[in-house]
Structure 1
């Protein structure tokens, strides 16, 4: 096998992942409004991929770089292949969209066009346009005196082709072009007043309403054509952290520059007027009509479907049954969370268990007069964060509060800047991480005075401190006051905020210097056990696996006889099941109701199993360009619970897809006589396992 054929290309693997998301929208067993939600996610995912990954490839092409990567693809060859696969995916996405619109219509929910409306409906919608929409619109003419406007990335626009009213003899008989932005501040879907005697819920898209009334913006001109379009720009930040005296100011400057990033993709409505198309191509400097321009047969930007599906009234029968996270049993039975953690380690698994436990942990610490200090990392925080409010109160009450805010969290930069300023204003010590590294570790340290000595309480998580995503993502969080973990936590914060030399970690493995060597050490140990005929197995759950040396180490373990089972939600560059290379490796992916986000590692260790939770995926950026954290789970009961969870996921035969040696995925089918097992639904009983374990212990 050639060296490059040993690996699957990262970007092509990502396309396969988004294809699995699309399959959930195509799946008739998925509730109808949930299918719309998945269809929306396909668009959001693709937007980010194009604005970062495809943009990066085009950057390389502009710079004349055309060397193959470790999977054998040159930027030019990969760009061509991605373009074909994206076109195919979008075509299938809109085919599914039309199918879902037909299914919605059977449920009494319809999207209508202007000619479908009666006079009364047209009159009411025209009034809505005049009162709400018209005042927000700004027509932007394009001519010699008015230059082409700046088009914001991923915003929806209308290209308007006009002809002058020829009663004015001074006007030439030619077309003129103007651009109107569809205001994103207004709802994309506009309810249509109902017809008498029908219970149908009708909606019209905002852009369709504007199209019908567009002539009111251009008096003296006749509208020849109106078509929607959308530009995707390069959205990656190019920071010079070494030369930036003020990182916050540097990022704000780059965010302004992002708005002017070079165009990567132009999406246009099918049948766009040739004059408008030529103008956009010329002004946006798009030369390749195949790779750069995507003609869409349907509404542009289907990401609106998620909000629509979530807000549709009287439609719970078209959604998954509502799931209410359970408050963790260990804390429910205690009035004092810190005393519960003193008794034993506590593991919380979201979204089955409530993120309120994390909020309460920080809030209690903030209000406790014996707590002297709180230190925390923040990567992505929700809009109305209880945690930020608790940290603010703690600082205002005189506690030492240190927050490491990652300003470079992609597409959350502006929100994080706002949080940083609010925390600084309250008196918190705000640190923006280390130069050249993103701080991606998820950790909180609480220092409390107890009987004349200090005790450290630690929370380590696999996901962000974000209560909104904690209801949608699967993540693990460990609460502990073990002294070795507490010492490591203090040392980690000292490294992130000061000039400490690398610590001799007692429990943690920390990237960029120590995590990869620790993983290799664990894999090497399994190789040694396999050669001795002892139990040797690795089960790892990550979001992505793309680091070449990590893949090579897993190939080495497979060749030595180590049984390896990987649960990789997204990108996987490892090629499993290849004789002589990876025949002992199995890879599955779960795409289901919740986003699989937890990172868990279990190793057999010759029969004395070890389990770790981590913030890091097995990608080059996580292992070498970020501050990441891997923490052992010592409590035997908690280890067993996480191992049971991994085994449960590995037995999924409803939503699991298995990666084949050729790079494609196939659904895992139940064997004859085997009952269907959907791991996310089964894992929802996690809190019952805890209750049973607690009763057994008693």
Structure 2
């Protein structure tokens, strides 16, 4: 049987849109607090922005190139674009329908978004003063005519298109008013309002006061619009100075071609034709919006805790809490596993701080992919270098949308004396690893931290990830060899435990699946559980289909993209796919293979996607420590039992929410994990 048959695969872009639909659906889940419902709309909007900047822009490039290209589902670029356009328009319409429902609910809770015309006379007097003092000095109107070409508008900026007439000339003229949302709050609370508290949007104020920018003119129409531009960087790796090349590409990103126009639904045909002509966009690229453009702003509403999730505090590591307190001694006696955000990321930051100040630590080596601009880790690495330690950091300056921040952090590290590597030619370094070399009585010892997620204390509060601290000498040897591979000219060694992309990760995954196939063919139990963000690699998927046909039971927990089709007769009948969309973003990559009862368990930085397996430096690490192996098994089974936040995938790529019958107990995996870690800490106390 040909398991590579395109009929067995789904289109990547369509499966991503299905994922964002699941995110958006959380806005209508009554058990989510009201402002959290609104936040899911903001998250879905943010996701769509990035999708258009990268994925839609990429499909458009393929169409323009005329290359005869077919994707994994045998779709041409034009067919992909048509499918995207159809699904995206429906999704956006749903987004604003949901927004309207939530805004009505907010009114019942005493929060109301109003227009200028709904203000009282007293409130209008306040607004006049506010406009004159806070808004008017910041805004610069831009005429568009033969002597004033259409201005360049940066990607995702909000603007107002204005139609007007002058007293001297009856001809209709056009202008652009930029909305200064980068320097002023877009959501403005009307002072002195009580139940309901009233809020204005900055663009609504500008629309109402547009005449103040065009004295002597008659305003005919003011319409908000927003442009999305191609933001995919074309970086030449074969250059002497990669840092300079990335910085050049970042400047080009601002001026990428327009790929989407969002326009208020009541815009006149004149404005629509004017903007589509100036931006060189077709009708299918235009999204008519029934509500405020750019719903990301709703994530910026602060306060009102009674309309949010019950606050939680990430707990200390209960495995570390059960030790004597000396970190080096604790990791020497047993591996320590932490599960974020249920357990605090502070343990990781403290590990780097401790290494930076410990006089017995000789060297620190770390890979950084995404890191916050106020990261304690950056500060600790700088301190370590200033304390005379050998500090080597691989800073991936091609991490999408984090390039500028990573360059800034890299220069800060270099200034303090760290040796900074800017990645490997042709590859992105996506692995998550820290190596600390320490002198002890017995000699030189290596302490290693390995993780599924980034060294970012901000995202660690909302992403689920797993990290492991170990003093395992074989892992330490592999870690040293790994950093030598990144920083020098070393050939890949024979690894003791590391599985490394792009060297042998796909081969090891396929080998593990083959192992289950061989066991299944003997009539014995064979099982695979795999949790990841995305599943796209056709070689791995074809092998999973083969395993399913051999009788291997395969349970996949895939948050986002999944082009595998479960439940196809005689192909994937033994495969199930579920997606968990909850309070926290599911980010950990965990893999389980039954292996005739020996149970192979891995954590990894990599999804099963071509880019991860071919174009990135990734790590997959076996979990041999029995306590952690059992703990990860329990986590996986808990996600498989989730019947509150789980969506199950059908063979056609659609999803349905897991149904809970009256007789079944509700299982919400993330909430259960949160409660369990709190209970364990209390028991230790």
CA deviation string 1:379-402 (max 9, x = no partner): 111131000000000011111001
The corresponding residue for 1:484 is: 474
Q: Is the 8 A contact 1:263 1:284 kept in 2?
A: yes
Contact (CA 8 Å) 1:534, 1:607: kept in 2 or not?
no
Partner Cα distance (2:62, 2:11) in 1 = 17
Q: CA offsets, 1:391-418, max 9 Å, x none?
A: 0000111110011001111111111110
Residue 325 of structure 1: which of 314, 320, 326 is its match?
A: 314
Given the alignment, which residue of 567, 591, 603 partners 1:601? 591
Q: Secondary structure at the match of 1:160?
A: strand
What corresponds to 1:301 in structure 2? 294
Go from structure 1 to structure 2 and tell me whether the alpha carbon gap of 1:322 and 1:693 turns closer, same or farther (over 3 Å shift).
closer
Structure 2 CA distance for aligned equivalents of residues 619 and 187 of structure 1: 39
Deviates most, 269-278 or 558-567: 269-278
Report the counterpart of residue 33 of structure 1 in structure 2: 35
SS in 1 for 2:136: helix
**Secondary structure class of the residue paired with 1:479:** strand
Question: Where does residue 271 of structure 1 map in the other structure?
Answer: 266
Partner of 1:565: 555
Compute the displacement of 1:13 (Å). Answer: 0.5
Q: Normalising by structure 1, report the TM-score.
A: 0.96
Partner Cα separation in structure 1 for residue 336 and residue 442 of structure 2: 25
Residue 654 of structure 2, aligned match among 653, 664, 670: 664
Within 1, Cα distance between the matches of 2:121 and 2:64? Answer: 54
The alpha carbon displacement at 1:317 in A equals 2.0
Counterpart position of 1:208: 204
- Aligned to 1:226, which of 217, 222, 230? 222
Post-superposition offset of 1:693: 10
User: CA shift at 1:690, angstroms?
Assistant: 5.6
- Give the 3-state SS of the residue equivalent to 1:551 in structure 2: helix
Matches within 5 A, 1:203-602: 203-242=199-238, 244-286=239-281, 288-289=282-283, 291-308=284-301, 311=302, 313=303, 315-332=304-321, 333-451=323-441, 453-602=443-592
Unpaired segments ≥5 residues, structure 2: none
Q: 1:125 is matched with which residue: 124, 127, 135? A: 127
Match of 2:176 in 1: 179
2:365 touches 2:483 (CA, 8 Å); kept in 1?
yes
Is 274-283 or 461-470 further displaced after alignment? 274-283
> Which one is further off, 481-490 or 671-680?
671-680
The structural deviation recorded for 1:526 is: 1.1
TM-score normalised to the size of structure 2? 0.97
* CA displacement, residues 170-204 of structure 1 (integer Å, 9 cap, x when unaligned): x3211111112111221110011234xx4321100
After TM superposition, give the deviation of residue 220 of structure 1 in Å. 2.0
Cα RMSD, aligned residues only: 1.5
- What is the distance in 1 between the residues matched to 2:191 and 2:300? 20
Give the corresponding residue for 1:145: 147
Maintained 8 Å contact 1:408/1:438: yes
Between the aligned partners of 1:672 and 1:527, the Cα distance in structure 2 is 38
Q: How many residues align?
A: 681
Question: 1:452 Cα deviation (Å)?
Answer: 5.7
> How far is the alpha carbon of 1:689 from its aligned partner?
7.5
Alpha-carbon distance in structure 2 between the residues aligned to 1:76 and 1:187: 40
Q: CA deviation at 1:211?
A: 1.1
CA contact (8 A) 1:31 1:318 kept: yes
CA distance in 2, matches of 1:359, 1:337: 13
Cα drift, residue 692 of structure 1: 10
CA distance in 1, matches of 2:15, 2:251: 32
SS class of match (2:496): coil
SS state at 1:446 partner: strand
Higher mean displacement: 513-522 or 326-335: 326-335
Partner of 2:90: 88
**Alpha-carbon separation, structure 2, partners of 1:688 and 1:535:** 36
Give, in whole Å, the separation in 1 of the partners of 2:289 and 2:195: 32
- CA deviation map 1:119-163 (0-9, x unaligned): 111111221122121121111111222221111001101111111
Query: C-alpha separation between the residues in 2 aligned to 1:400 and 1:48?
Result: 38
- Alpha-carbon distance in 1 for matches of 2:404, 2:500: 27
Q: Distance in 2 between matches of 1:260 and 1:67?
A: 27
Answer whether contact 1:633 1:639 (CA < 8 A) is retained: yes
In the TM superposition, structure 1's runs of 4+ consecutive aligned residues that sit over 6 Å from their partners are 691-695
The 8 Å contact of residues 507 and 631 in structure 1, kept in 2 or not, is answered as yes
Q: Deviations over 1:598-656 (max 9, x none)?
A: 00001111001121100000111001100000011111111101100100110111111
Q: What secondary structure, in the 3-state scheme, does the structure 1 residue paired with 2:209 have?
A: helix
CA distance in 2, matches of 1:672, 1:39: 30
Q: Using a 3 Å threshold, how does the CA distance of structure 1 residues 690 and 457 change in structure 2: closer, same or farther? A: farther
Offset of residue 448 of structure 1: 0.3
Contact 2:235-2:245 within 8 A present in 1 as well:
yes
Paired residues of 1:331 and 1:357 also in contact (CA < 8 A): no
